[in-house]
Amino acid sequence: MIPADWTPHRREDGELLGWIRPEGADWLAVDVLGRELTGEIDWLDAEAALEEHGIRWLADPWVLEGEIEGPLRVQIVEVVPEGEGRITVKVDDFGDMQRPPTQRYTLTWPLPARLRPHGPGDPDGRTITR
């Protein structure tokens, strides 16, 4: 649930980039997954941080832990911070529209620790190991 003192910040087209929330005598920028982007800064700097961060990174590969043995490469398909909040991911299908739909997982919002950006050493989704 979004705290009442968080102010949404949107792009010119209305797309939500995150929130600006009070922090001490200053402000703090929070992205759409609920992660703090900055420390205590002024309001205009918080807006600039959200604009620079954007939302393009949501389309990058992510890694989900705890569903199978080892890490699972996934894509974020939905972020709903309102209400109870949820993040929906699917097993990465690499954009292949011809294959059957892949498994989906619904996670809590804000970002749970078991979902993280894809990094070095994570499965690439194309390599089969035994």
List pLDDT tens digits, range 76-113: 999 999 999 999 999 988 777 788 888 999 999 999 99
Average pLDDT, the chain: 92
Query: CB-hemisphere CA count at 13 Å for 113?
Result: 0
Q: Which tokens is 70 given?
A: 């080892």
Instruction: Mark out the alpha helices in the chain (DSSP H runs).
Output: 43-53
Q: What are the extents of the domains in the chain? A: 7-56, 60-117
Per-residue pLDDT tens digits for 11-35: 999 999 999 999 999 999 999 999 9
pLDDT of 67 reads 84
Q: Report yes or no: 63 and 116 within 8 Å, Cβ to Cβ.
A: yes
Per-residue pLDDT tens digits for 34-49: 999 999 999 999 999 9
Nearest-CA neighbor of 42 among 52, 53, 29, 55? 29
Q: How far apart are CA 88 and CA 111, in angstroms?
A: 11
| Cα–chain center distance at 79 | 7
In sequence order, the 6+-apart residues with CB closer than 8 A to the CB of 88 are 76, 77, 78, 79, 80, 104, 105, 106, 107
Residue 75 in this model has a pLDDT that exceeds 90: yes
pTM (2 d.p.): 0.87
pLDDT of 130 reads 46
pLDDT category of residue 69 using cuts at 50, 70 and 90: confident
